[in-house]
Amino acid sequence: MSEKDIEREIQARVEFKMNELLTGVKNRVRFLYCQSFDMTKESEYVWDAFAQLEEMLKKEVNMGTPSNQMDLERRWKAKEKAVDNIMECLDLRGRDSTYDAKVRKVVSEIEKAQNY
Among 116, 43, 35, residue whose Cα is nearest residue 82: 116
Question: pLDDT band at 65, cuts 50/70/90?
Answer: low
Give the C-alpha separation, 31 to 26, whole Å. Answer: 9
* Mean pLDDT, range 46-64, rounded to an integer: 80
**Hey, is 50 helix, strand or coil?**
helix
Does residue 59 have a pLDDT over 80?
yes
Cut 0.75: pTM above it:
no
Give the C-alpha separation, 71 to 81, whole Å. Answer: 15
Rounded-to-10 torsion of CA 36, 40, 44, 46? -70
What is the reported pLDDT for 94?
52
* Mean pLDDT, range 56-63, rounded to an integer: 80
